[in-house]
């Protein structure tokens, strides 16, 4: 199977984006797999340190490999917002395809220093994603906008990518983790200028809640990977609430979770369509 880098390069060349969908439970994992299979789309499964701790890294790797064979799809695993070096090391050794190191709150010099260290750990075994600028917010449905993070400084991009030897760059261009009623919107001019400064694969975090047109515009401006988490979590919660509301006596997990799974699958399919990653590999030789 072709590595993740192949698909990121292809996306960059052809102007589409690979979705990263986070999970921490099996029904969400399977829903993402079903959607990817149906859409014939490469897909990245994301786990934060918390999600990986809950699900288990080895279990995630085992299932990734199982679904690669079972469904014949290019599916990859990314450690999302990694911050702990020994945890990152464990993810690389376990066989994760990509590592995102979130050093965004550190001074740039320290961020670069740690990324260089992680590059040596990761070597060429996985894609390394760094972050410049702070994205801010927290996954979830929220009423009030949090304090905005610091947007990615265009003038710092070139040196940051070169010195840290990263493959991918998470940019802060106006999205915030979580879903808010009045999101400030994406600074497309900034994004285009960042793209002019680097060939690194540009990553849009906090893709949940961003309007379809803005996502398409972001892809046209150079984004090749988009992270989605809050929207799936919200479907999960609403699905369970509804199941219990409909039948307070319900206690069969497979009944409560049936709609959750179906609706997450639908949402992932919808995102894949917007990202235009549909039909981007040909069976069986992807």
Query: What does the binding site for Zn ion look like in residue numbers (CB under 5 A)?
Result: 205
DSSP 73-133: --EEEEEEEE--HHHHHHHHHHT-SEEEE--TTS-HHHHHHHHHHHHHHHTTSSEEEEEES
Taking the complex as a whole, the smallest distance from the CB of residue 77 to Zn ion amounts, in Å, to 16
* Interatomic CA distance for residues 29 and 45, integer angstroms: 8
Residue number of the CB atom closest to Zn ion: 205
* Interatomic CA distance for residues 7 and 43, integer angstroms: 10
Count of CB atoms situated within 10 Å of the CB of 14: 11
**CB-side neighbour CA atoms (13 Å) of 198:** 30
Phi, psi of 183 (to 5 degrees): -75, 145
Taking the complex as a whole, the smallest distance from the CB of residue 54 to Zn ion amounts, in Å, to 17
Taking the complex as a whole, the smallest distance from the CB of residue 69 to Zn ion amounts, in Å, to 29
Cβ(32)–Cβ(194) under 8 Å? Answer: no
Task: Establish whether 159 is a catalytic residue.
Answer: no
Q: Pick the closer one to Zn ion by CB: 40 or 233.
A: 233
Taking the complex as a whole, the smallest distance from the CB of residue 72 to Zn ion amounts, in Å, to 29
Which of 4, 19, 91, 102 shows the shortest CA–CA distance to 56? 91
Q: How far is CA 36 from the centre of its chain?
A: 14
Buried b (16+ CB within 10 A) or exposed e, 181-193: eebeebbbebbeb
The answer to whether the peptide bond before residue 84 is cis (omega within 30 degrees of 0) is: no
Taking the complex as a whole, the smallest distance from the CB of residue 129 to Zn ion amounts, in Å, to 10
Which candidate in 65, 80, 97, 159 is catalytic? 80
Positions annotated as catalytic residues are: 80
């Amino acid at each position: 199977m072709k590595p993740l880098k192949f698909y990121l390069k292809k996306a960059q060349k052809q102007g589409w984006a690979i979705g990263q969908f986070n999970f921490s439970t099996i029904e969400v994992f399977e829903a993402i797999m079903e959607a990817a299979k149906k859409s014939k789309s490469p897909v990245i499964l994301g786990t934060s340190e918390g999600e990986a701790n809950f699900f288990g890294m080895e279990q995630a790797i085992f299932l990734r490999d199982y679904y690669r064979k079972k469904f014949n799809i290019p599916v990859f695993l990314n450690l999302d917002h990694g911050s702990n070096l020994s945890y990152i090391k464990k993810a690389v050794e376990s066989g994760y395809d990509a590592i995102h190191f979130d050093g965004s709150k550190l001074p740039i010099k320290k961020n670069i220093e740690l990324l260089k260290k992680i590059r040596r750990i990761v070597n060429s075994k996985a894609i390394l994603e760094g972050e410049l600028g702070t994205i801010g917010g927290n996954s979830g449905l929220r009423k009030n906008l949090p304090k905005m993070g610091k947007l990615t400084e265009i003038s710092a991009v070139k040196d940051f990518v070169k010195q840290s030897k990263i493959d991918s760059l998470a940019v802060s261009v106006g999205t915030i983790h979580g879903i808010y009623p009045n999101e400030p919107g994406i600074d497309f001019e900034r994004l285009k200028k960042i793209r002019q400064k680097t060939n690194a694969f540009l990553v849009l975090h906090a893709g949940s809640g961003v309007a379809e047109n803005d996502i398409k515009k972001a892809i046209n401006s150079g984004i090749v990977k988009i992270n989605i988490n809050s929207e799936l979590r919200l479907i999960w919660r609403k699905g369970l609430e509804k199941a219990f509301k409909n039948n307070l006596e319900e206690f069969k997990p497979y009944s409560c979770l049936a709609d959750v799974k179906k609706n997450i699958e639908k949402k992932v399919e919808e995102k894949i369509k917007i990202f235009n990653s549909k039909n981007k590999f040909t069976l069986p030789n992807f």
